[in-house]
Amino acid sequence: MATNVNGAALDDSPIPQAVQKQSKQTVDPYNVSGEVGEDGVVKAIDYNKLVDEFGTKKIDDELLARFERVTGKRPHHFLRRGIVFSHRDFELILDRYERGEPFFLYTGRGPSSDSVHVGHTIPFEFTKWLQDTFDVPLIIMMTDDEKYLFSEKKTIEEVQGYCSNNAKDIIAIGFDPAKTFIFSDFDFVGGAFYRNIVRLSKHITLNQARAIFGFNDSTNIGRIHFGSIQGATSWASSFPHIFGEDESKTVGIPALIPCAIDQDPTDFRMTRDVSARLKYQGKPYAKPSLIHALFLPALQGPGTKMSASIDESAIFLRDTPNQIKNKINKYAFSGGKVSAEEHRIHGGDTSVDVAYQYLRFFLEDDEELERLKVEYESGRMLTGDMKAICIKELQKYVAAFQERRAKVDDEAVKLFMTRRPLQWRGNPRAPRVVPTVENGDANNAGPEGEGKLTKNQLKKLEKQKQIEAKKAQKAKEKAEKASTEAA
């Protein structure tokens, strides 16, 4: 009996196999593909390589232990399993939480179609968990303008239609309306937000935009400018109805941005760079922190992500239990061997087995997941069994989503999208503190620098640096001790 249907699934696959030439892996907001080897086969995306290339930091056990100490909460299974695997300055957010200082969560979605799949909901599920954990405001940006600018065919009316339906999908994840503001760029650009957009755009040259985004002379100028809109949402002073009118205070409140890793190179690297150079009355803009998730692979394998426009590549939130079953049985790339006999002798490869990989995202029970891995790799468990478990978990997830989604009406969308104050408490174990700026670079005042830091601020920064150095030293000693003990 053949346990592995990859040959048939690939013949049938709607994903064009145009990528047969050898090529390097590409990950940016507009392309995601693993390396193509000499044999023309797409490899899994190498996330370690991305961490090196982008210059982000891996989330390690020490950071997770600190997270648990500070929040009193066990890290989410995405964190425990390396699905949310990389970050920029996440430790600064933990510092702030510990001290009761404000920050907010920011994420977004480009409404490009009504076809929302389970790959889209992953960062939002994680964001909801962060909101529940930290009890802070969350801002969700709907980039209808981006989807108009980056599509050849879509009209403004079309993307606006997707926007309200996508907002319903997002609300159905379970966000708290008292703490969440969703906005559409077409509706919200203006006032304080627009001032920040222009501040940001003034500090990016065409050369820099080209280097970051790969634009060329034929790129429409709307696309070139768009990054400043996505970036300016990282600044709390864009939202006076939430954080207050006093920019000298709000300028120091940083965002924590949960997103898929493809969003990193663009606006946030760019925005972090400009934040360090820009000052408001001598006070630097807080750089956003980021926390990155990897992609939920397409059914066809771990070298690419699900696509909203290719039905057979993804499990959609509108899929029926039967469609879910058929898609997984027919298309899910298998890490099993070609025959049951061989599989029983050599075992399967969970690192490429799509059914197992999906279970890492959707099955919360660590012990059960480990058991499946051991059984599959030993050869005792066959591809069909792994798929059956995956089907059950996904059917459960999608059914629960559909039930919540049915309850979201136009009124709810209006509520979430109305400009209004939000209510949040932050860390219940820390006193609430007035905002302070800590991740701006004092030595890096750019042309807009409207004055130097005060003596007090410099002192504070110096102290901060000393604390960081001490912490680093302690961590190093601890690691050394642990490794000598282990030896």
Q: Which residues bind ligand TRP (CB under 6 A)?
A: 107-110, 141, 143, 146, 230, 257, 259, 263
Nearer to ligand TRP, 47 or 150 (CB): 150
Bridge partners of 293, per DSSP, are 84, 260
Q: How far is the CB of 323 from ligand TRP (least distance, A)?
A: 24
CB of 257 to ligand TRP, least distance (A): 5
**CB-nearer residue toward ligand TRP: 112 or 457:** 112
- Measure Cα distances from 32 to 303, 475, 485 in Å: 8, 35, 42
Contacting residues for 399 by C-beta, under 8 A, at least 6 apart: 321
Question: Would you say 237 or 263 has its CB closer to ligand TRP?
Answer: 263
Q: How far is the CB of 335 from ligand TRP (least distance, A)?
A: 30
CB of 83 to ligand TRP, least distance (A): 16
CB of 169 to ligand TRP, least distance (A): 13
Question: Nearer to ligand TRP by C-beta: 5 or 293?
Answer: 293
Q: What is the smallest separation between the CB atom of 235 and ligand TRP, expressed in angstroms?
A: 13
In this complex, which beta carbon is closest to ligand TRP, that of residue 99 or of residue 223?
Answer: 223
Q: How many residues does the chain have?
A: 487
Minimum CB separation of residue 358 from ligand TRP in Å reads: 21
CB closer to ligand TRP out of 259 and 286: 259
Q: How far is the CB of 35 from ligand TRP (least distance, A)?
A: 24
Q: Least distance (Å) from ligand TRP to the CB of residue 258?
A: 7
Which lies closer to ligand TRP via its Cβ, residue 316 or residue 333?
316
Which C-beta is closer to ligand TRP: that of 188 or that of 356? 188
Q: How far is the CB of 231 from ligand TRP (least distance, A)?
A: 9
3-state secondary structure the chain: CCCCCHHHHHHHCCCCCCCCCCECCEEECCEEECCECCCCCECCCCHHHHHHHHCCEECCHHHHHHHHHHHCCCCCHHHHCCCEEEEECHHHHHHHHHHCCCCEEEEEECCCCCCCEHHHHHHHHHHHHHHHHHCCCEEEEECHHHHHHCCCCCCHHHHHHHHHHHHHHHHCCCCCHHHEEEEEHHHHCCHHHHHHHHHHHHCCCHHHHHHHHCCCCCCCHHHHHHHHHHHHCCCHHHCHHHHCCCHHHHCCCCEEEEEEHHHHHHHHHHHHHHHHHCEECCEECCCCEEEEECCCEECCEEEEECCCCCHHHCCECCCCHHHHHHHHHHHCCCCCCCCHHHHHHHCCCCCCCHHHHHHHHHCCCHHHHHHHHHHHHHCCCCHHHHHHHHHHHHHHHHHHHHHHHCCCCHHHHHHHHCCCCCCCCCCCCCCCCCCCCCCCCCCCCCCCCCCCCCHHHHHHHHHHHHHHHHHHHHHHHHHHHHHHHHC
Nearer to ligand TRP, 223 or 405 (CB): 223
> In whole angstroms, how close is the CB of 108 to ligand TRP at the nearest point?
3
C-alpha to C-alpha distance for 372 and 365, rounded to whole angstroms: 11
* Choice between 118 and 391, CB closer to ligand TRP: 118
CB nearer to ligand TRP: pick between 256 and 352: 256
